Structure 1
Amino acid sequence: MHTLILSIAFSVAVSIFLKLARRSRIHIDQAIAVNYATAVGLCLWLLRPPLDTLFDQSPAAWLILSLLGVLLPSVFLIMAAAVRRAGIVRSDTAQRLSLILPILAAFLVFHEAVSMRKAFGIALALCALACLLARPRTAAATPTPGETISDDEARGTAARGWQVLLGVWLGYGCIDILFKQMARIGAGFTGSLLLSFTLAGLLMGLWLLARRTRWHARSLASGLLLGGLNFGNIYCYIRAHQTFPDNPTLVFAAMNIGVISIGTLVGAGLFRERLNAVNILGIGLALGAIVLLFPR
């Protein structure tokens, strides 16, 4: 059980890092690039993917890996913007609600049977997402303690909050679908993870070089921390599934509910994030939807 608790803690810690990055004058794009280099090293050390067959991938697998290489850093940037503009609570909840997209894909693309329970869970999740996207008057514009923002910036932040939340939901949902499709075509998970981290890091690095980025030592160093937290979340999540091989529902549900619950406490207690009644209703609906969407 400790691996599951650690995975939840690492996930929330990533959101806290993204929340504090602006106040610490960290260039998040540079931190994300180093994050993937760190994740590659930790993946080689702890997961030990089979390197002898690493590049023996089918054309379909390489297509999926290429899409992941683009999506992973892009969605990380969107998540950073969401945490800054909409807060940890709503961003983490939007990320966890992204599970509805692979479930919809299973029904619509892979023609799995639709149960009444899952249909109700999907409807509940869509209602939760709508509630989360409702803009509270002050939540998105509430600065981190020690940070000040202008009135114009506050209004712009609130106006864009729903857009980045929708981007988080769509982005993480598409990544989940791609990883599930990778598993369907028989690619090994650890090798696929290593290749996707490597491609994401290379593309992010090339993008920064193309922009003639002025490198920032603090941002590069912070990427080591971000990479450790990000990989720790993934590693402990995998270990939790290995610990409970016959009960994946426990891991899925506990992870999603745990992140939403702890993220809510951290957002409200540490960063004084304000939610309106509709947002709070959305969090409650999200918790109910997660319970319904995973089979017993």
Structure 2
Amino acid sequence: MIYILLSISCSVTVAVLLKLAKRYNIHVLQAVMWNYMTAIILSYIFFRPELQEITAVPSVLTIAIGVLLPAILLIFAASVRNIGIVKSDIAQRLSLFIPIMASLYVFGENFSGLKVAGLIVGFTAIILTLYRQSTVKADTGSYIYPILVFIGFGVIDVMFKKLALDKSIPYTSSLMVIFCISFVIAAMILGYIVLVKKKKVELINFICGVVLGCFNFGNILFYMKAHRAMASNPSTVFAASNMGVIILGSIVGIILFKEKVSKLNYIGISMALAAILLITLSQKYAV
């Protein structure tokens, strides 16, 4: 569980940095591009992958993840602009449904009674924790964005699990290739914005991107390590990570950003904690 806790901490830190980016007018796409460059450098420093391994890695799975990572971030940003952060966040969290179904039907995991109970409590917790009165009005067509957020985040989770199970090539080499692909995609999009829309590349965005990259690297690395350490229980990693982010993210939001939390939200946070306990217990007891 230590890898899950470390992944949760890094994930929430990334979310906090992105939230602060808006406050201080940081250009998110520029920061994201430098974030992937930082992840590439860290991958090389810590993993020292062989050139032969890196050139042998590119596959349909690694290429798909590399393209989807920056793409889903831009889709999420578009969703926030069109229908608001509340509904977009709900779509992201409910995407847990996709990897949970994959755990059952793709990875062949057996669900105990405790685990099923934990998942039911967990999905209820997601809805209650993220419930807010949204003031953002949106056209019917705008709801394509949260649908894409729901599908995108869910599919990426499943892809990372499949990558973690691949024993033929070190996953550290796969991660470096994924970061390289994501960097190229982000650089291409940024190039269009700089050349066509005349947006300046600024040093502050580079600095923020380096900091963001350190924690994003940690988030993905520990998430992969958790899946490898708990290979027979992917739903535990999917659910515990999601619930943990909700709990820690809510606490940080209340303390640092003075976010208003309703009674329903507090009940949701408590239920998320209960869900993690049930899912953790299901590792030891089959009911």
Give the TM-score normalised by the residue count of structure 2.
0.74
1:226 counterpart = 2:218: no
Aligned 8 A contact 1:18 1:83 in 2: no
Q: Which residue of 1 aligns with 2:184?
A: 202
Contact 1:105 1:177 in 2 (8 A): yes
Out of 48-57 and 28-37, give the one that drifted further.
Answer: 48-57
| Paired amino acid for 1:50 | E
User: What secondary structure is seen at the aligned counterpart in 1 of 2:261?
Assistant: coil
Deviations 1:4-25 (A, max 9, x none): 7665443322111111111211
Structure 1 residue 166 displacement after superposition: 6.8
Q: What percent of counterpart residues are identical?
A: 36
Once the two structures are overlaid, the 10-residue window that deviates more, 273-282 or 162-171, is 162-171
Provide, for residues 119-155 of structure 1, a one-character-per-residue CA deviation record: whole Å limited to 9, x for no partner: 2233223323333453x23xx6xxxxxxxxxxxxx53
- Between stretches 164-173 and 261-270, larger displacement belongs to 164-173
Task: Please give the alpha-carbon distance, in whole angstroms, between the structure 2 residues aligned to 1:245 and 1:122.
Answer: 17
Structure 1: how far apart are the matches of 2:143 and 2:104?
27
Between Structure 1 and Structure 2, how many residues are aligned?
Answer: 271
Query: Taking structure 1 as reference, are residues 129 and 169 closer, same or farther at Cα in structure 2, changes over 3 Å only?
Result: farther
Q: Which runs of 5+ in 1 are unaligned?
A: 141-153
Deviates more, 1:188-197 or 1:74-83: 74-83
Distance change (3 Å), C-alpha of 1:177 and 1:4: closer
| 1:16 pairs with 2:16 | yes
Equivalent position of 2:255 in the other structure: 269
- Once the two structures are superposed, residues 21-40 of structure 1 have per-residue CA deviations (whole angstroms, 9 ceiling, x without a partner) of 11211110111011001100
What are the residue-to-residue correspondences of 1:239-278 with 2, within 5 Å? 252=237, 258-278=244-264
Counterpart for residue 98 of structure 2 = 101
Q: TM-score, normalised by structure 1?
A: 0.72
Aligned to 1:191: 173
Aligned to 1:178: 159
| Stretch of structure 1 that moved more, 99-108 or 166-175 | 166-175
One-letter identity of the residue aligned with 2:67: V
* Cα separation, 1, equivalents of 2:166 and 2:183: 24
- Structure 2 counterpart of 1:31, one-letter code: A
Q: In the TM superposition, what is the alpha-carbon distance from 1:2 to its structure 2 partner?
A: 8.7
* Corresponding residue SS for 1:55: helix
Query: Is the Cα contact below 8 Å between 2:38 and 2:214 reproduced in 1?
Result: yes
Q: 1:119 aligns with which of 103, 116, 121?
A: 116
- The aligned counterpart of 1:62 is 59
Distance 2:174 2:72 in 1: 18
Name the aligned partner's letter for residue 121 of structure 1: G
Cα drift, residue 156 of structure 1:
4.5
Instruction: State the one-letter code of the partner of 2:54.
Output: L
One-letter identity of the residue aligned with 2:209: G
Measure the CA separation in 2 of the matches of 1:120 and 1:103.
Answer: 13
User: Shift of the alpha carbon at 1:74?
Assistant: 2.6
Code of the residue aligned with 2:276 in structure 1: it is: I
- CA drift of 1:204 comes to 1.2
User: Partner residue of 1:74?
Assistant: 71
